[in-house]
Amino acid sequence: MSPVRLGAVAYLNARPLVCGLDRHPDRFSIRYDVPSRCAALLHSGDVDLGIVPSIEYLRGGPYLAVPGVAIGSEGPVASVAVYTSRPLGQIRTLAVDTSSRTSVALLDVLCARYFGIQPEMRPMLPEPERMLRECDAALVIGDLALMFDHAAAGVQKIDLGEAWTAYTSLPFVYAFWVGRAGAITGPDIDLLVRAGQDGVVQADVIARSYFAATPRWIGAGASYLRDHVKFGFGERQRAGLTRFYHEAADLGLVPAFAEPRFY
């Protein structure tokens, strides 16, 4: 039997979900990409299962989700943020990271429902300094958002995880394992869930390995995994995801609302 082809997000926040999977090369082969690329590979059939942006569940398939583990937050997430040189209500142009899908949709929802603004969205490569030179504000995600020194840049940081929870009183789910029916077996699911559960308690080990070349970030990376990212996929997370899907469908960001279905 050929290994299941896994597409994983290359950022630090996804590493706990793949913890130890490299010890099963007979079952899994793993490639790492930015979130938008992970989604494209799943949609095209070039991976069997992917950690994909949650909005992409409604843009292809039909898909099923692996239960129990996801990448989410409840309150500040630290790695999905709008950086702005102006007060929120005065933002007219907003650069959005081309590597993101869910965060752009989340920003669309928050602008329409919570922030009360209608900025012009300009897709750009994730280069915060250039984005902020050319636009009033910039949406940046992942490791770059986590490490960007906004105080030194003289801009305000608006954490979108914090904004979502303030708006809805619910968690937000950014990404989770998604595939087509029949892509994985019961034992595969058990390994994926166990990997996520093991990864949650190994924040220090994961951060030390991930930032081996830049050890000054190890402490911040471990704190981020422990204190900001939530890896469960229980009832509250499902409620938050369903709310997001309703909001996205109402704004025409996805073809239609659908409840997430699981293996």
Mean pLDDT over each residue of the chain, to the nearest integer: 95
Give the CB-side neighbour count of residue 226, counting CA atoms within 13 A.
13
Distance from C-alpha of 186 to C-alpha of 197, rounded to nearest angstrom: 17
Other beta carbons within 10 Å of 93: 15
- B/e letters for 112-135, b = 16+ CB within 10 Å, e = fewer, are eeebeeebebeebebebeebbeeb
* Residue from 7, 1, 23 nearest 199 by CA: 23
Distance from C-alpha of 178 to C-alpha of 54, rounded to nearest angstrom: 9
Q: Look-up: residue for tokens 């954490």?
A: 159
Distance from C-alpha of 76 to C-alpha of 158, rounded to nearest angstrom: 9
* Residue from 173, 195, 263, 145 nearest 21 by CA: 195
Tell me what pLDDT residue 106 has.
98
Tell me what pLDDT residue 152 has.
94
Distance from C-alpha of 62 to C-alpha of 97, rounded to nearest angstrom: 27
Tell me what pLDDT residue 100 has.
84
* Residue from 130, 165, 133, 163 nearest 144 by CA: 130
Distance from C-alpha of 37 to C-alpha of 161, rounded to nearest angstrom: 22
- B/e letters for 231-256, b = 16+ CB within 10 Å, e = fewer, are bbbeebbbebbbbbbebbeeeebbee
Global pTM reads 0.94
Percent of the chain exceeding pLDDT 70 equals 100
β-bridge partners, 173: 72
Residues 6+ apart with CB under 8 A from 261: 62, 63, 64, 65
Encode the chain (263 residues) as per-residue pLDDT tens digits: 789 999 999 999 999 999 999 999 999 999 999 888 999 999 999 999 999 999 999 998 899 999 999 999 999 999 999 999 999 999 999 999 988 899 999 999 999 999 999 999 999 999 999 999 999 999 999 999 999 999 999 999 999 999 999 999 999 999 999 999 999 999 999 999 999 999 999 999 999 999 999 999 999 999 999 999 999 999 999 999 999 999 999 999 999 999 999 99
- Enumerate domains of the chain plus CATH numbers: 4-72+171-250 (3.40.190.10), 80-168 (3.40.190.10)
